[in-house]
Amino acid sequence: MRQRTLFTKTRKEAPSDEVAKNAKLLIRAGFVDKLQAGVYSYLPLGLRVLKKIEQIIREEMNAVCGQEILMPSLHPKENWQTTGRWDTMDDLYKVSDTSGRENALGATHEEIVVPLVKQFVSSYRDLPFSVYQFQNKFRMELRAKSGILRGREFIMKDMYSFHKDETDLKNFYDKMKKSYERVFERFGIGEKTYLTFAGGGSFSKYSHEFQTVTPAGEDTIYICDICHIAINKEIIEDQNHTCPLCGNKNLRTETAVEVGNIFELKTKYSAPFDLSYKDEEGKDQPVIMGCYGIGLGRVFGTVVEAYGDDKGLVWPREIAPFAVHLVEILSANIRVREETEKFYNELIGQGIDVLWDDRDLRAGEKFADSDLIGIPFRVVVSEKTLTEGKFEIKARATGEVSMVDRDELIKFIKSVKLKVNTDACPTL
RNA sequence: CGGGGUGUAGUAUAUCGGUAGUACGUCUGCUUUGGGAGCAGAUAGGCCGAGUUCGAUUCUCGGCACCCCGACCA
């Protein structure tokens, strides 16, 4: 993409009322725009990141045979009354239309997915399966805060699994733990993200959260460095400050952001909607459920919090808006523009995502913008390139600079392999 | 929802009960061109409503919005 065509612009200063690092940097760099507290637009650069996050999740959910669907945001009141949550969920947005009919804006989708699958599930032969979606969720947070980390409207991947018994749920649940580990690994936050034991409510001993360590976190977790897992504050007292896996008492305290969670729902939602199946003996049995969420905006903001520095954003390669930031430094020698364009077209032809800063600006401004936007590699084309035949390549994360010739550079850029999931679902 | 704070050009800020200033941005021209450049000119502003006052952006009250702490929550 040619940067001069980008309708957004960077800013030197963040809005004075923003305190959160993710909000400051993302607004300055033109990745997002705040419409109101906790409600954000994703602009071209930000949307690219969001879509990469989404695609990684999609690949991994497909790999565990999840079937993608899209459910509505406008939910009939009756569905929420069936589970009782119309009255008990304090942060549910309720809207009524001119006919007086009441609806909920989807805060989560158990109330929709259960009646949906009920139409198709009647036999043990129909189980197990799982469905997932990427959908905006609405929750009336009394206090939206921390930039895009806690919004009133946010995008979530929510998956729901349906099983004939708890053993089958347990197997799938364990598979999802591994799936999630791969997802966070691919986001570039694997090392900072811990499987965290959390309260399970009335249906199981634990649920699990995925918590990413960053100072911006709202949660306190206790990390066992032996098992690379953590315990949430809410159950640490019950656990007597010991790791539930290995008994280690030396837990490390950190603040973290909850980027995902997995729950065994069991019959919590299948029961009120009477979602059941006939077993081998023809007897009705309740369907056993699990649910699995990842907050995309949370991941987005958490990555900014975890890696952003005083100069701007720093994107892990897997979710960067572009692979390469091509920066031309203009001089009296007009051929720089021509050379850059040729090189740009060559990279594009190789299937490489390039943002080309073709604006008529001075070098300092372009470098500052490049640091702010945070694309993993910056390649500079200047008069020097023409006279010496060398390109300068700089890694945003490390600041490491090297001078390489054209062929080396292309070879290097192409060698930066992104992780892919080769475990395709056999039935999809 | 309880407590606290803040609302001035596109952005960041200053001043003031009587003509609202600066920087960046944007526009014009010239010069510059490897870390947010220089000169000259231009552009653009008091959240909303009521009250006090000869006069309110400033003081008072109400509303709204945003931010922070807490509670709640992904």
Q: In whole angstroms, what is the distance from residue A422 CA to residue A428 CA?
A: 13
CA at A220, C1' at B1: how many angstroms apart? Answer: 24
At A202 the pLDDT is 53
Nucleic strand B near CB of residue A13 (< 7 Å): yes
Summarize pLDDT for A242-298 with one digit per residue, the tens. Answer: 888 898 999 999 999 999 999 999 999 999 999 999 999 999 999 999 999 999 999
Summarize pLDDT for A115-133 with one digit per residue, the tens. Answer: 999 999 999 999 999 999 9
ipTM: 0.94
The string of DSSP letters for A178-203 reads: HHHHHHHHHHT-TTTEEEEEEE-TTT
Residues 6+ apart with CB under 8 A from A361: none
| Closest nucleotide to A260, Cα to C1' | B74
At A176 the pLDDT is 97
At A422 the pLDDT is 78
Look at domain A3-307 and name its CATH class. Answer: alpha beta
Q: In whole angstroms, what is the distance from residue A121 CA to residue A278 CA?
A: 9
Q: In whole angstroms, what is the distance from residue A207 CA to residue A196 CA?
A: 8
CA at A4, C1' at B7: how many angstroms apart? Answer: 34
Predicted confidence band at A384 (pLDDT cuts at 50, 70, 90)?
confident
At A5 the pLDDT is 94
| Closest nucleotide to A372, Cα to C1' | B36
Q: What is the bridge-based pairing of β-strands A284-286 and A93-96?
A: unpaired
CATH 3.40.50.800: does it fit domain A322-415?
A: yes
At A203 the pLDDT is 58
The CA-based diameter of chain A, rounded to the nearest angstrom, is 85
Write the DSSP symbol of residue A367. H
- Is A50 in contact with A320 (CB distance < 8 Å)? no
Q: Which nucleotides of B are covered by protein (CB under 7 A)?
A: 1-2, 5, 11-13, 24-25, 32-37, 65-74
DSSP reduced 3-state for A87: helix
Of A109, A206, A106, the C-alpha closest to A158 is: A109
Predicted confidence band at A234 (pLDDT cuts at 50, 70, 90)?
confident
At A352 the pLDDT is 94
Can you give the pTM of this predicted structure? 0.97
CA at A34, C1' at B71: how many angstroms apart? Answer: 25
- Strand B proximity: list residues 28-87 of A with CB under 7 Å: 34, 36-38
Radius of gyration for chain A, computed over Cα atoms and rounded to the nearest angstrom: 24
Give the other-Cβ count within 10 Å of A326's Cβ: 26
Count CA atoms closer than 13 A to A16's CA, side-chain side.
0
Q: Where are the alpha helices (DSSP H) in A144-253?
A: 166-187, 233-239
What is the average per-residue pLDDT within A46-64? 97
Residues 6+ apart with CB under 8 A from A67: A129, A130, A131, A132, A428
User: Does position A201 have pLDDT exceeding 70, yes or no?
Assistant: no
CA at A42, C1' at B66: how many angstroms apart? Answer: 20
Sheet holding A401-405, edge to edge: A354-357, A324-328, A377-381, A390-395, A401-405
Cis peptide before A128 (omega within 30 of 0): yes
Residues of chain A with CATH 3.40.50.800: 322-415
Q: In whole angstroms, what is the distance from residue A277 CA to residue A285 CA?
A: 5
Residues of chain A with CATH 3.30.930.10: 3-307
What is the average per-residue pLDDT within A9-37? 95
- Strand B proximity: list residues 324-363 of A with CB under 7 Å: 329-332, 361-363
Q: What is the bridge-based pairing of β-strands A324-328 and A377-381?
A: parallel
| Closest nucleotide to A370, Cα to C1' | B35
User: Does position A332 have pLDDT exceeding 80, yes or no?
Assistant: no
Summarize pLDDT for A202-211 with one digit per residue, the tens. Answer: 556 789 999 9
Query: What mean pLDDT is reported for chain A?
Result: 94
Q: Is the dihedral of CA A178, A116, A282, A204 positive or negative?
A: positive
| Closest nucleotide to A380, Cα to C1' | B34
What is the average per-residue pLDDT within A211-229? 94
